Each structure stands twice: as structure tokens, then as C-alpha cells.
């Protein structure tokens, strides 16, 4: 297994969320994943993370590489971003089905592909099966080796940031939220499981 271990029980995690396209859910997913996996959160982009995730989240123009951290990278991909992306167990790429988002996502994947880090594409904020399939087939026809996860439009994304609760915390709040968010959370749990197990095992480093 190509993973650094402090001791037998503690596996180090570094995850990066990247897409040059804005408004695709990078910050929302990064925050929720960080909180649910008890990881730090760093970002080079302004957002409310420092107030909703006190002591664990930090915004700076050049985030530093630390263990057990999710990186939320907005804007274009600078060298500092590439270094951290390279050190990550997986790169999370949220993408909405809008034409412009797909174009920017293709550009983003082209810049990240050479790193040989597993790429987790989140097709998110889609409203129909047609949108979902069109978005994933567009990306699939341009690249091989992408891992796909699907998150239909849901209030859970906005509520998470607004209430400062992770997706799992929101899901668990009431019987109604358990009902409403069930499909979303099942897929989200599959993502968390892949990030904590699969991504590490699949890492293609020598
Ligand atoms: N599954 C989903 N359901 C509902 N909204 C979603 C979903 N996925 C993404 N979104 C969108 O994500 C937005 C939150 O965006 P967020 O700030 O996390 O994006 P971002 O990629 O970090 O943007 P920026 O680059 O501007 O920082 C919501 O306002 C919503 O439009
Ligand atoms: Mg953001």
C-alpha cells in the first residue's frame, strides 16, 4: 500500500478539490468531507469556511501542505496547487451539467491527468437523468480512468453551508431529513468510503 503511516492505526489523508469553474460545489463538498472525516480544511479562495469550521479551516493565498487536510482550490491551477494536488490521495472534481462547466472541467482534468492521482468526478446539481448522462458521457468520451459520483440537485448543499453542518450531520437531524436526503447520502457515503479506502489503494505512484 502506497500510503504514509504514522503508526498502524493512523492513516494520513490529503485530499484536493479542484475545478477552474466556479459555483460547482467545491467549497460545499470540501467542507462536508473535511468535517465528516475529521480533517483540516484549507482554501485559497474566500468563503465562509473559517466561521462555520472554526479552528480547523483556514483561508490563505498559498495554503501549506499539512497532514489530514482537505484543500479547496478555486481559480486557475498555480504551481503551489499542483504540488499539493500531487501529494493528494485523490483529487475531487465537482462538475455541474452546464456546457461551460463541462468545458472548464475538461480543461481542469487535462491539467491534472499527468499527476497520476485518482480523479473523483462529482456530477452534481443535475435535475434529470438526461442531464446526468450527458455530463458523464461528455467527460467519459474525453478521458479514461475517471471515477464518477452523482449528486442530484438537493437543498442539502446550500443548507450545509448555511447551517455549518456536514451532509451527514444534516441527514441525521430529523426523521424527515433522513427521508429526503437518503439517496444523496448513500452516494456521499460511497464517496467517503472510496476516499478512505479505494483512493489510497489505487494510487499509482512508484
Ligand atoms: N447537488 C447539488 N444540489 C444543489 N446545489 C448544488 C449541488 N451541487 C452544487 N450545487 C451548487 O453549489 C453551490 C455552492 O457552491 P460552492 O460555493 O460550494 O461552489 P464553488 O465551486 O466553491 O464556487 P467558487 O469557485 O465560487 O468558490 C450552490 O449554490 C449550488 O448552486
Ligand atoms: Mg468555493
pLDDT tens digits, one per residue of 186-201: 999 999 999 998 544 5
Q: Which atom of ligand 1 is nearest to the CA of 153?
A: 3
Residues 6+ away with beta carbon under 8 Å from 50: 57, 58, 59
Could you list the residue range(s) of the whole structural domain that residue 79 is in?
14-202
Dist. CA 202–CA 46, nearest whole Å? 32
**In angstroms, what is the span from residue 73 Cα to ligand 2's centroid?**
7
pLDDT tens digits, one per residue of 105-149: 999 999 999 999 999 999 999 999 999 999 999 999 999 999 999
Report phi then psi at 14, rounded to 5: -130, 120
Of residues 61, 112, 124, 91, the one with CA closest to residue 195: 91
Dist. CA 54–CA 57, nearest whole Å? 6
* pLDDT in the model for residue 78: 87
Of 99-103, 140-144, 187-191, 202-206, the least confident: 202-206
Ligand 2 is a single-atom ion; what residues have CB below 5 A from it?
A: 26-27, 45, 47, 74
Q: Quick check: is 7 in a domain?
A: no
Give the chain's count of helices (H) and strands (E): 10, 7
Q: Quick check: is 9 in a domain?
A: no
Q: Which atom of ligand 1 is nearest to the CA of 75?
A: 25
CB-ligand 1 contact for 25 (6 Å cutoff): yes
- Is residue 33 a contact partner of residue 195, using CB atoms and an 8 Å limit? yes
Q: Quick check: is 2 in a domain?
A: no
Number of structural domains in the chain: 1
Dist. CA 11–CA 13, nearest whole Å? 6
Residue 202 has pLDDT above 60, yes or no: no
What average pLDDT is seen over the chain?
A: 92
Residue 204 has pLDDT above 80, yes or no: no
- Is residue 146 a contact partner of residue 109, using CB atoms and an 8 Å limit? yes
Q: Quick check: is 83 in a domain?
A: yes
Q: What is the CATH number of the domain that holds 61?
A: 3.40.50.300
Q: Quick check: is 31 in a domain?
A: yes
Question: What is the rounded average pLDDT of the residues 52-59?
Answer: 97
Question: What is the rounded average pLDDT of the residues 96-110?
Answer: 97
Residue 206 has pLDDT above 60, yes or no: no
Question: What is the rounded average pLDDT of the residues 9-16?
Answer: 80
Grouping H, G, I as helix, E, B as strand and the rest as coil, residue 121 is: strand
**In angstroms, what is the span from residue 29 Cα to ligand 1's centroid?**
8
pLDDT tens digits, one per residue of 20-48: 999 999 999 999 999 999 999 999 999 99
* pLDDT in the model for residue 33: 98
Q: Quick check: is 4 in a domain?
A: no
* pLDDT in the model for residue 10: 58
C-alpha cell at 4: 504514509
pLDDT tens digits, one per residue of 151-174: 999 999 999 999 999 999 999 999
Q: Which atom of ligand 1 is nearest to the CA of 21?
A: 25
Q: Quick check: is 141 in a domain?
A: yes
Residue 73 has pLDDT above 80, yes or no: yes
- The residue nearest atom 31 of ligand 1, judged by CA position, is 23
Q: Quick check: is 76 in a domain?
A: yes
Pick the ligand that lies closest to the CA of residue 19.
1
Q: Which residue's entry shows cell 495554503?
A: 63
Q: What percent of the chain has pLDDT over 90?
A: 85
Of residues 93, 30, 74, 19, the one with CA closest to residue 56: 30
Amino acid at each position: 500500500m502506497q500510503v504514509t503511516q504514522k503508526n498502524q492505526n493512523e492513516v494520513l489523508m490529503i485530499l484536493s478539490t479542484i475545478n477552474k469553474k466556479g459555483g460547482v460545489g467545491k467549497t460545499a463538498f470540501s467542507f462536508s468531507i473535511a468535517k465528516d472525516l475529521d480533517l483540516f480544511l484549507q482554501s485559497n479562495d474566500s468563503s465562509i469556511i473559517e466561521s462555520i469550521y472554526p479552528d480547523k479551516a483556514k483561508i490563505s493565498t498559498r495554503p501549506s501542505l499539512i497532514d489530514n487536510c482537505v484543500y479547496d482550490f478555486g481559480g486557475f491551477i498555480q504551481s503551489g496547487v499542483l504540488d499539493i494536488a500531487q501529494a493528494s490521495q485523490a483529487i475531487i472534481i465537482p462538475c455541474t451539467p452546464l456546457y461551460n462547466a463541462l468545458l472548464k472541467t475538461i480543461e481542469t482534468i487535462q491539467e491534472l491527468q499527468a499527476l497520476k492521482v485518482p480523479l473523483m468526478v462529482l456530477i452534481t446539481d443535475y435535475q434529470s437523468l438526461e442531464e446526468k448522462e450527458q455530463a458523464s458521457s461528455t467527460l467519459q468520451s474525453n478521458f479514461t480512468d475517471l471515477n464518477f459520483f452523482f449528486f442530484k440537485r438537493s437543498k442539502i448543499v446550500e443548507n450545509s453551508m448555511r447551517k455549518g453542518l456536514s451532509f451527514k450531520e444534516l441527514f441525521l437531524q430529523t426523521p424527515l431529513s433522513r427521508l429526503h436526503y437518503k439517496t444523496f447520502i448513500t452516494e456521499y457515503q460511497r464517496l467517503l468510503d472510496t476516499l478512505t479506502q479505494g483512493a489510497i489503494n489505487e494510487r499509482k505512484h512508484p
